[in-house]
A and B are shown apart, each in its own frame.
Chain A
């Protein structure tokens, strides 16, 4: 019989892999999107907003929403909560650094606040997710049976 521990471990490993992959894919959406007003750009924008919101919810709550309560508690135990805090701290610094960079770049090549906000949000979220995924995956390494 599969125990909650086993289910939580499989789901946790999956979450860590998805976090890293999502971070990389989310960044690539920057290259594809523009501030133009064509219908396809509106669709891309809505997609980016929805995806970003979903990733933020994962960062806030840890995912595993469709798992039973016992499994969710195991997926979000002390170590994962610590990893999440550390990841959000990294996200803070990357958001600050990206904002500083856009501030400087705008001096030489002015662009819109909308684009700056999108870049800052994208890199902030991606950095936090990458760190979270990396910490979680490192925690599973060298695991005994």
Chain B
């Protein structure tokens, strides 16, 4: 059974009072990308995950984790 990727992207983003559009602008992607990652619909590449972490000033591990069975 494939593991599910959990993320706290929305929490980190709202903590910094950023809209999806503002975060998208910082990272250089469309707002749709931020939306699909937040909703767990899209699993970001490592590159995108690193960019998101850098934009939010936290580590990748703080943003993403694997669901424990």
Contact = CB atoms under 8 A, between A and B. Distances in A.
Interface string B1-37: 0000000001000000001110011001111110110
Contacts, number: 62
Nearest to B35: A143
Q: Chain A: interface secondary structure? A: helix
A143 B35 CA distance: 6
A74 B30 CA distance: 5
A79 B48 CA distance: 11
Nearest to A3: B25
Given A74-B30, A77-B30, A138-B41, A5 B21 contact: yes
Contacts of B48: 78
Given A138-B41, A144-B20, A145-B20, A77 B31 contact: no
Interface residues of B, number: 21
A5 B31 contact: yes
A142 interface: yes
B2 to A, nearest CB: 16
B31 to A, nearest CB: 6
A145 B36 contact: no
Interface residues of A, number: 23
A78 B44 contact: yes
The 10 closest A-B pairs by CB, nearest first: A79-B33, A139-B32, A74-B30, A77-B29, A143-B35, A139-B36, A5-B21, A77-B30, A144-B20, A145-B19
Given A5-B30, A80-B30, 15 more contacts: A3-B25, A4-B25, A5-B21, A5-B31, A8-B30, A9-B32, A12-B30, A77-B33, A78-B33, A78-B42, A78-B45, A79-B32, A79-B36, A82-B42, A139-B42
14 contacts: A3-B25, A5-B21, A5-B31, A6-B21, A73-B28, A78-B45, A78-B48, A79-B33, A79-B36, A80-B30, A136-B32, A142-B39, A143-B31, A145-B21
